[in-house]
Amino acid sequence: MTSDREFQQHVTDRVTRRVTGIVTKAVMFVIFVTIAIFVCGGAVQLLWNWLMPALFHLPIIRFWQAVGLLFLSWLLFGGRRGFGGRAYGYRGRWRHRMRERWERMTPEEREKFRQGVHSCWGRAVPPDTKPSA
């Protein structure tokens, strides 16, 4: 009987530690994101209000406008890369497809491809080199 109780206590302790760890990580993530928003938003506001009115005669902005500008620039200029966005994934897929194509080519096709690329870019490369993809 004690082994059953010990096992149940062990399982309960593990579940409790796991849930506590997950909740702690979630709270720390929320705190980090909040701090990052305030720091980056404040930096954007300070830089905008320091440079833009003097250089381009634009109006000064408030904090939440700076946060909105930061978010907009994040969306427009590829900030999704770190969150599984297409920028890195697309490059990786392209590289993978090119490697597969290269491996299926005959030596004559490879040489023709090299000559076409190098004539386009104006560089001479020895014919026995391989792409570094």
Backbone angles phi, psi at 60, to 5 degrees: -75, 160
**Does residue 66 sit in the same domain as residue 95?**
no
Domain match, 98 and 46 both:
no
SS3 call for 23:
helix
Report the domain count for the chain.
2
Instruction: Look at the pTM and tell me if it is higher than 0.85.
Output: no
Do 69 and 107 share a structural domain?
Answer: no
- Sequence letter at residue 73: S
Q: Over the stretch 67-125, which tens digit does the pLDDT of each residue have?
A: 999 999 988 887 666 554 554 556 678 888 888 989 999 999 989 888 888 877 766 55
- Print the domain residue range for 104: 89-133
> Based on the domain organization, do 40 and 95 belong to the same domain?
no
Percent of the chain topping pLDDT 90: 44
The maximal CA–CA distance of the chain, rounded, in angstroms, is: 82
Instruction: Tell whether 73 and 97 lie within a shared domain.
Output: no
Structural tokens at position 96:
């993978």
Instruction: Choose the final residue of a domain: 80, 105, 125.
Output: 80
Q: In terms of domains, do 30 and 93 share one?
A: no
Rounded Cα–Cα distance for residues 9 and 49 (Å): 59
Both 118 and 66 in one domain: the answer is no
